Chain A
């Protein structure tokens, strides 16, 4: 094990694993039809680990809940006989956790600041769409309801927002983080 690996392992045990039980319970109560809970939780852990390894994450707990919900909604879409139920919005209280709230120092990391500023630089509608989808983890449909606009507009504004953000990345050197 390299020092980096053990550091990552410790972070996982300290910051991620404590949320597992609650995440599973939440998943089972909100998405009873969404396939194998183990698979979903495993996939969310994997993504969080990859994200954490390549840069900071504001709030591991919120990341887990948001990613897991995206995965669950995706699965429901692909199960042919069960239309996604009208799932309640992501309750901010369920992803909030005072004990493990994001330390100020994390939100101040340069990469996160770049992401925040990219969103801040957007026109109003694009900014609202990106904020609701990414920071609060609402689905595109829920963003539409929340903002009182059509799902089509959400998709269009999100697309414009993303293009402008990539443009922002390009001008501020953030694309250097991308590798394939």
Chain B
């Protein structure tokens, strides 16, 4: 498939969005942004065209890497300022060199490879159903701390000048705490306080068990009643990186501490979304990868879909964005079977 974008249409609004997304992708998307990005791509085929051109354009400038590295290897933000030595010289040689023919046989950047050029956007017929999937959500707090909530988790935050208190009402959450020694960050879960200064940890409340895992820094766990302002809790046993504390609700005065290996941590904290990069990967394998990290399972209803190859990056939890993209750009139809299964079918009417 070759489609020159000589005639890439001008549309200020779409182009502004495409430029913004390109810069965000360049600095790295958060899980939330990845969802929003997939959504934006699926909204309008022109968005995909625009982002392809903008990301290509952004990457083109990498050709200039090391433009000035020899004589005075000092970083100069004004290297290309008007009147600069480099700029004057480049004007002198203006027009002296003919364009060399481009070896255009290889696409510089292929966002989505599709063996058939039939990119037929279809309306989002089953969109409401897909939104039933509970999402992993991210909460950013005023002090810069970030809470990642696993599906269905609920937290309440109560910030005062002395304390940052968060109550985990149910479910599982991961806390990345902004450093502020004067204002402790305390997570209360079923009467147990988990306190941190600047750290990252995971708290889970399932049935009658509280489970705390420390991913970074140090936390203390205490079953005492709510802390008084100014009271320190450091006399409590401290948990370090890789430690896991488990306690039963009926007897929170004692807890078992174990040490997790890196791979155990990966497994335990694997619910947090991670980026999956696919490069010419068969649809069957992509679906299997999603199914490993999500409760909602994808099923390919037509064997013809299994061999489709895609090059794309998705967050592991972004089933919704993935299904939408398949519907809007790959002529598929999504059907729910019960509450936890989505069947994808070929809706191209046999033209695939």
Contacts and interface: CB of A to CB of B under 8 A. Distances in A.
B243 to A, nearest CB: 13
A178 B5 contact: yes
A12 interface: no
Contacts of B64: 58, 112, 115-116, 119, 134-135
A81 B60 contact: no
B3 A111 contact: no
A124 B84 CA distance: 13
Contact of B65 (A59, A108, A119, A165): A59
A16 interface: no
B5 to A, nearest CB: 5
A78 B275 contact: yes
Contacts of A138: 75
A80 B274 CA distance: 8
Nearest to A113: B90
B76 to A, nearest CB: 8
Interface string A69-86: 000011001101101000
Contact of A134 (B61, B68, B81, B108): B61
Given A51-B62, A111-B63, A120-B82, A96 B69 contact: yes
B26 A158 contact: yes
B65 A131 contact: no
Given A102-B69, A178-B53, A53 B103 contact: yes
B339 to A, nearest CB: 28
Given A134-B61, A180-B3, A54 B106 contact: yes
Nearest to A158: B23
B77 A131 contact: yes
Contacts of B233: none
Contacts of A165: 57, 61
Nearest to A165: B57
B36 interface: no
B296 interface: no
B63 A163 contact: no
A169 B5 CA distance: 11
A177 B107 CA distance: 10
A140 B63 contact: no
A111 B99 contact: yes
Interface string B80-108: 11100001001001101111101111111
Nearest to B87: A120
B207 interface: no
A177 B98 contact: no
Interface stretch (B13-21, B37-45, B151-159, B182-190): B13-21
- Secondary structure at the B interface, as helix, strand, loop or mixed, is loop
A50 interface: yes
Contacts of B2: 179-180
B228 interface: no
Given A165-B57, A166-B15, A175-B5, A101 B215 contact: no
Nearest to A60: B66
Contacts of B6: 175-176
Contacts of B62: 51, 63, 66-67, 134
A38 B215 CA distance: 27
A10 interface: no
A95 B77 CA distance: 17
Nearest to B174: A80
Interface string A31-56: 00000000000000000001101111
A92 B54 contact: no
A176 B274 contact: no
A95 B102 contact: no
Contacts of A97: 69
Contacts of A140: 23, 26-27
B61 A166 contact: no
Given A101-B70, A113-B90, 4 more contacts: A57-B65, A63-B63, A92-B73, A113-B94
The 4 A-B residue pairs whose C-beta atoms are closest, nearest first, are A62-B66, A59-B66, A96-B69, A128-B77
Interface of B: 1-6, 8, 10, 15-16, 19-20, 22-24, 26-28, 52-54, 56-70, 73-82, 87, 90, 93-94, 96-100, 102-111, 200, 215-216, 265, 269, 272, 274-275
